Amino acid sequence: MIPPIASDFVAGESPAEAISHVRHINRGGVGGIVNLLGEHYEKRPPADADRDAYLALLTDLGREDVSGSISVKPSQIGLDVGEGVFEENLAPIIERAEEEGVFCWIDMEDHATTDVTVDAYERHATATDGGVGVCLQANLKRTPEDLQRLAALPGKVRLVKGAYPPPKGLSYRDRERVSEAYEELLGFMFREFDAGVAVGSHDPRMIDRAKELYEEYRTPFEIQMLMGVRTDAQFELAKEGYAVEQYLPYGNRWPSYFYRRMRERKENAAFALRAIAGS
Ligand code: FAD
């Protein structure tokens, strides 16, 4: 059982709870991106177990009448064990997703995994004719080139600021510089993509920029935010007619995810402390 404050950020421990949360947010016009919590497995068994959990989740999502996709971390399905293991586990997940008509996102992890992740996306986006999406990080200096390479492919790209601090020479560290890079990359995506633009940010400035770019280029786009972050804004944007997707993690590895969310933003920690003091 997930305690009250953590349950603002995590949909539950079981797939049934995650799907129930998807159904709940669907009623407010928001789609769900379901992520089973888990990463950086050094041995094959837990990676294979999470692959199997995703296969079962996909069958459930396909059976239920919900608007839901999945998002998978490469190191969760074996990238730290070996690139071959990652591919062996990713392929059946994408195959099942295609069979069930469920969209499959691939999260982006640290900079050492960008090549293998983008290569996998390229292969599967082409093979599935766009049933797959990948995340790219604006804080990486290489991202303009990656976007150029991916612009003509079917599929979707989620642009985020980047959650993994890469080595200095390869990345922007200054927050304002990362925001500027994000805006420049969004401009490229709206100009060069026919569709498949996903704005993975809670930042009102980035979202306003996407709205302006939409007025100029009319490229379809979606806004993606995390469960528990700016929830009211998610439903307001959906009410205004924007496509909004909520990334919702579930599973029994929720404590480390929850503490990361707390560390990230002082507001979240202050809110949690107030709630504990009041309970
Ligand atoms: P920030 O730069 O953190 O904040 C900018 C402004 O946004 C703030 O000043 C505030 O106005 C507003 N804001 C932000 N958080 C809050 C809050 N809690 N409450 C109220 N206002 C707030 N990173 C990866 O590296 N790989 C991934 O695969 C990945 N996937 C992601 C998927 C989704 C759907 C999302 C939303 C993020 C993902 N990230 C991923 C994380 C991302 O890289 C950023 O670390 C994270 O989103 C913080 O950046 P930001 O643009 O949201 O806003």
- pLDDT, tens digit, 9 for 90 and up, residues 217-243: 999 999 999 999 999 999 999 999 999
SS3 267: helix
Alpha helices in 154-249 (DSSP H): 175-192, 204-217, 231-239
74 ligand 1 Cβ < 6 A: no
Q: What pLDDT shows up at residue 278? A: 45
Using the predicted structure, report yes or no on whether residue 198 has a pLDDT greater than 50.
Answer: yes
**Chain mean position to CA 181:** 19
204 ligand 1 Cβ < 6 A: yes
107 tagged catalytic: yes
CA distances from 123 to 132, 210, 261 (A): 10, 28, 32
Q: Which residue owns the Cα nearest ligand 1 atom 11?
A: 203
Q: What pLDDT shows up at residue 168? A: 87
Average pLDDT over residues 75-88: 98
Rounded CA separation 178/190 (Å): 18
pLDDT classification of 259: cutoffs 50, 70, 90: confident
246 ligand 1 Cβ < 6 A: no
pLDDT tens string 129-177: 999 999 999 999 999 999 999 999 999 999 999 999 888 899 999 999 9
Task: Write down the catalytic residue from 50, 96, 146, 158.
Answer: 158
39 ligand 1 Cβ < 6 A: no
86-100, 161-175, 179-193, 258-272 — which is least confidently predicted? 258-272
Task: Look up tokens 């633009």; give the residue.
Answer: 197
Task: Look up tokens 């797959």; give the residue.
Answer: 132
What is the DSSP-derived secondary structure letter of residue 171? B
Rounded CA separation 59/194 (Å): 30
Domain residue ranges of the chain, discontinuous segments joined by +: 14-253
Using the predicted structure, report yes or no on whether residue 189 has a pLDDT greater than 70.
Answer: yes
pLDDT classification of 276: cutoffs 50, 70, 90: very low
Q: Which residue owns the Cα nearest ligand 1 atom 12?
A: 203
DSSP 130-152: S-EEEEEETTBTTHHHHHHHHTT
pLDDT classification of 279: cutoffs 50, 70, 90: very low
Fold topology of 14-253: TIM Barrel (3.20.20)
Q: Measured from the CA of 198, which atom of ligand 1 is nearest?
A: 34
Of 69, 73, 71, the closest CA to residue 32 belongs to 69
Average pLDDT, the chain: 94
Q: Measured from the CA of 229, which atom of ligand 1 is nearest?
A: 18
Rounded CA separation 134/154 (Å): 11
Rounded CA separation 87/148 (Å): 24
48 tagged catalytic: no
Q: Measured from the CA of 261, which atom of ligand 1 is nearest?
A: 18
